[in-house]
Structure 1
Amino acid sequence: MADYRIREYRDEDYEMVRELFATGMSEYVPALCVHVLKQPWVILVLACTFCILLTSSKSLLLPILAITLLLATGRQLLGYFWTMYIEHCLKEDLLDIRTTYMGSKGSCFWVAEADECVVGTVAARPSDDQEGELMLKRMSVRKDYRGLGVAKALCQAVICFAQQQGCRAVVLNTLMVQDEARLMYERVGFAKYRDDVLPTVYGRLANVTISKYRYSVPRRS
């Protein structure tokens, strides 16, 4: 068991929390690229481009170079859009963590601390969809501390908080590329109840799926 402790957020954690979130989210770019490459329309475009260039040029080199360029350009575009998403998050609730999560009833932000460094984060605030439900947000664990029970301990902090607040459930959203996170949530006791495609042009084109999970909070005895 790693030597860490779960505690509430303090102002001096600000930069470490934001850096941990940005670094953790950046890790999903390769998985996102693979996901997009598996989409039927992408495979069709690449195949048609290759066949057309091969037929017109009578050379294998040109279509290979063209496909390589298309893949490299797509990788850069996906990385750019993902970076914009991360920046958007940093300018929303993570811009003023204390006001967003520590300044109102029913919200809180926790960190996992080890060797005087923040190695994990999680937040909770009332759900916008259903009254009496708590939304788990901003779960992130530093790469070298994964698999040591940190994420599970952070989940338990949220569940205990929900129980204290008299909430009937904890809910959360995960993206289709967050396989490890989904497995961890399911081991804790969360159950998936719905899959939604991100309602944007990019979301539909890339088939970006959001999985919604719920944990039924036991009543306090």
Structure 2
Amino acid sequence: MASIQIRKYRDDDAEAVREVFTLGMSEHVPSSFMHLLKQPLTQMVLMCVFCALMASSKSFLLPIMAVTLVLAGARQFVTYMFTSYIDTCLKKDLCHIRETYLEQKDACFWVAESDGRVVGTVACMPAEKVPGCLELKRMSVRRTHRGMGIAKALCRTVADFTRDRGYAAVILYTSVVQTDAQNLYEHMGYEKIREFVVPELVARITNFSLIEYRLDLQTDTKKD
């Protein structure tokens, strides 16, 4: 088994970090598409299209083709949404990792390295909406290196960093379709605080929700 090293981010890790993040986020397209298909509104639209064309054409072929095209369009739409989100992240903090995480107080970015290759990432920074907590961000592990305890080690790294800085808890947000991530966090002791639908119109229509998790820590008084 290859040895795994958790260390702070270096500038020459930038390309590998962006690759790990992009691949990890892209994996959620199929599950997000399935989530979309399970929504009552989606099913109603597909049924209406099928029935309307069936009644007007008196043929099975046209409605089946139309529904197939609608499904293909929906899949492309989901892909587009994830691609847009990835591009936004790559242009924001993941384009300025040192400035965003390493040069800011109580923030950090780590990578998991195996045989000289970056195979996982995680970061944290003070939570904007939850005072006294750090927020775990950018957790991702290459598919080829999962099941080796890397994600757990990255979680513990953030927890230790948070405890050392005197913060009360770690919080994080993950989506409803990221079931593996949910299982990991719950296994690591995180408690589900709430689930809420993303305020953007598209997310509200598709009922795409985020889940907030919290890991309470025993800490000393917050350091200056």
Q: TM-score, normalised by structure 2?
A: 0.96
Cα shift readout 1:65-92 (whole Å, capped 9, x = no counterpart)? 0000111111111111210011011111
Q: Does 1:200 align with 2:200?
A: yes
The one-letter code of the counterpart of 1:120 is G
Q: Does 1:113 align with 2:125?
A: no
Aligned to 2:77: 77
Q: How does 1:9-48 map to 2 (within 5 A)?
A: 9-48=9-48
Q: Distance in 1 between matches of 2:200 and 2:133?
A: 26
Aligned to 1:59: 59
Q: Which runs of 5+ in 2 are unaligned?
A: none
Q: How does 1:82-161 map to 2 (within 5 A)?
A: 82-161=82-161
Q: Does 1:211 align with 2:211?
A: yes
Q: Distance in 2 between matches of 1:10 and 1:116?
A: 13
Q: How far off its partner does 1:2 sit?
A: 4.6
Tell me the matched-pair count: 220
The one-letter code of the counterpart of 2:124 is A
Q: Distance in 2 between matches of 1:44 and 1:109?
A: 44
Q: Distance in 1 between matches of 2:190 and 2:15?
A: 30
- Maintained 8 Å contact 1:2/1:148: no
Q: How far off its partner does 1:110 sit?
A: 0.4
Q: Distance in 2 between matches of 1:2 and 1:156?
A: 20
Q: Distance in 1 between matches of 2:74 and 2:37?
A: 9
RMSD over aligned Cα atoms: 0.9
Structure 1 pair 212–2 and aligned structure 2 pair: CA distance change class (3 A) = farther
SS at match of 1:118: strand
- Percent of residue pairs bearing the same amino acid type: 50
Q: Which runs of 5+ in 1 are unaligned?
A: none
SS at match of 1:211: strand
- Off by >6 Å, runs of 4+ in structure 1: none
Q: Distance in 1 between matches of 2:82 and 2:138?
A: 16
Cα shift readout 1:86-139 (whole Å, capped 9, x = no counterpart)? 101111111110000000110000000001000000000000012210000000
The one-letter code of the counterpart of 1:114 is S
- Maintained 8 Å contact 2:49/2:63: yes
